[in-house]
Structure 1
């Protein structure tokens, strides 16, 4: 077996073309042979400066031979061995999407051990300018800063694991300046719009109960799709939220845990909602409160609920809001009606009431009008004294 040379050990020479070349030991193969990193420069002084910087970078680092594997190969391995056992199926599918669509096409073939900080910066610049595969009517091919930040989160975790496995000396994503996160504006149905939406669902015998329950509970889309009759306590008028439905690759549905620990909760239903579910239970022949209309042995598909909501909004002449905005609508009107933030955070499944307040700092036009009327009346009472 060859004698092991310490990592950081190096040598220099002048090539026939006049440039200077050097190498340092950055690790060892399984048989003990050295793994070298080669550097070149136009002068000996410049080369020695490069070598010094690299010797410092690789000090106390002993890379393995696998550091030459392509980044794409490492990302596949990381997804299966590191991510899959620790995240929800829907989260894992999201990670796969970022890897396949955004990272692999640009850096997938480069050896993981040679990924540099500049490679990462260039990746994020390209994603911001033309990261979409299909043109968006409003944003073109640009990716939102929040999406680039999520891609960074995946790549950062994968390269952290690579550093732990001695495939890279340092995580090149550390310290990268990320684009600002611009949260999508919340869209809330005001009183008049909510009345129009309620009229639209009233005419839909299949989906009325689903959307009425959503608007009076603010459940997440996967949570309301995952409700079973065992979760409904008719005697006490409560609903236990204990699971969420995920759609995996290929369309298969799975029931998983709620988004957070606080997501497992018991909520007291409004009397009208409790009555609605009591009547619905009498007609039900499946374990799911809201089964798939065509395959009642299965829960409603989250995407089917989204599509039907869009159709109802269009029919009512309302803005094309997101499904999550129905949750925002419930929360905003609850606060406007006097529900305190602590109680509302428990209903929504938030970990802290402060998060609920931070999330719903916005107000609707109806709330502003009501506030102005209250203040106006208060001032008028003072003036007439």
Structure 2
């Protein structure tokens, strides 16, 4: 009968023998790849040799990610190990840094305050379910789903590391909204009259002009891009001859990294957008006026030639202008909704509008963005019928 196989990541009995004036201690260690390794150390004293082998085994275990953790480890220790690996994957482009920040925030503020003293094996399905139902009742279904997502990630990692046999989140009860449904407010978009009034006030506001807001706002109206997408647009993305701009990703504020550009929210995030003639002329004039010291740099740049910081832009220029103009309720997302409404009223399909806005599902466009991967010039033509350029703010259609 063969010898008993050691469990992965464990060592066998330490044996010690006399050798000359010293002692040799040795043991077998089975690594996580299934291979056996002979660990031996020589010391003048018998117990010193035994201790040296123990230390060597301990150091070898520490070199294996997650190996020092067990089902009896505290949940925060396991979660910290998972988050460290998740962050490295984000650096390699597997996940976005926004996801890292969101998971880190929810872990710190919603999970660890409850599971801080729990061992990993004590975080069972009923325990998780109680936490999620409490978040659902006290906050929202959206937050409960976010908390569930971070716990799922930690537990999946623990399963893959061999710490537990199954993910307890799988059997958690569905997160059903039990509170009375409140009627959602209809998406607010600028009417044509409001839009022309808004642009007229924008062009007449010296502080807004100095902050480059007229071009930026028209960029949002022409493209319907998300704020991070337009602020992250570079000059190579603009094709004057083809009359289009290509979305190449979006800017995010990653904790500890500042402003970084990622690949976008969905597969539709990278897409070409056809531009109305007035926007093509505006961008061409802008490129000529600015001189573009960096031909691969951002279209909308800060004083140092880099990407604009959204928070700084909003707090110092965008919000103060809206207050002065009497349009405090207007946001960059409002401009996105306004474009969707213009295109809807021009007769474009939900699919065409979704392609322009970069939505994976037309239902999102209809439910959230309409006030009422495929490129289409119909949207550009609809916008082209409105003279939104800085030379005039009257509708060409009367």
TM-score under structure 2 normalisation? Answer: 0.66
Q: Which deviates further from its counterpart, 85-94 or 168-177?
A: 168-177
1:50 corresponds in structure 2 to none
CA contact (8 A) 1:237 1:269 kept: yes
2:166 corresponds in structure 1 to 170
User: How far is the alpha carbon of 1:226 from its aligned partner?
Assistant: 0.7
Matched, 1:73 2:69: no
**Count of aligned positions:** 298
Matched, 1:151 2:147: yes
CA distance in 1, matches of 2:326, 2:344: 26
User: How far is the alpha carbon of 1:227 from its aligned partner?
Assistant: 0.8
**Structure 2 gap segments, 5+ residues each:** 14-66, 373-398
Matched, 1:303 2:304: no
2:341 corresponds in structure 1 to 332
1:342 corresponds in structure 2 to 351
CA distance in 1, matches of 2:330, 2:158: 41
1:132 corresponds in structure 2 to none
- The correspondence of residues 1-385 of structure 1 with structure 2, limited to 5 A, is 30=10, 66-82=70-86, 84-85=88-89, 86-128=94-136, 142-174=138-170, 175-180=172-177, 185=185, 186-202=187-203, 203=205, 204-205=208-209, 206-250=212-256, 252-284=258-290, 285-286=292-293, 287-292=297-302, 294-295=303-304, 297-307=305-315, 308-318=317-327, 320-353=329-362, 355-360=364-369, 363=372
Residues 1:257 and 1:169: Cα distance change in structure 2 (over 3 Å): same
User: How far is the alpha carbon of 1:212 from its aligned partner?
Assistant: 1.1
Output one character per residue of 1:93-118: Cα deviation in whole Å (capped at 9) or x when no partner: 11111111211122133111111223
Output one character per residue of 1:202-221: Cα deviation in whole Å (capped at 9) or x when no partner: 22212110111102211011
Output one character per residue of 1:352-382: Cα deviation in whole Å (capped at 9) or x when no partner: 545534545651xxxxxxxxxxxxxxxxxxx
Q: Which deviates further from its counterpart, 160-169 or 237-246?
A: 160-169
Q: Which deviates further from its counterpart, 75-84 or 85-94?
A: 75-84
CA contact (8 A) 1:200 1:315 kept: no
CA distance in 1, matches of 2:87, 2:173: 22
CA distance in 1, matches of 2:105, 2:113: 12
Residues 1:339 and 1:305: Cα distance change in structure 2 (over 3 Å): farther
Question: 1:68 aligns to what SS in structure 2?
Answer: coil
Residues 1:69 and 1:184: Cα distance change in structure 2 (over 3 Å): farther
1:45 corresponds in structure 2 to none
CA contact (8 A) 2:244 2:272 kept: yes
TM-score under structure 1 normalisation? Answer: 0.68
CA distance in 1, matches of 2:149, 2:132: 12
User: How far is the alpha carbon of 1:155 from its aligned partner?
Assistant: 1.4
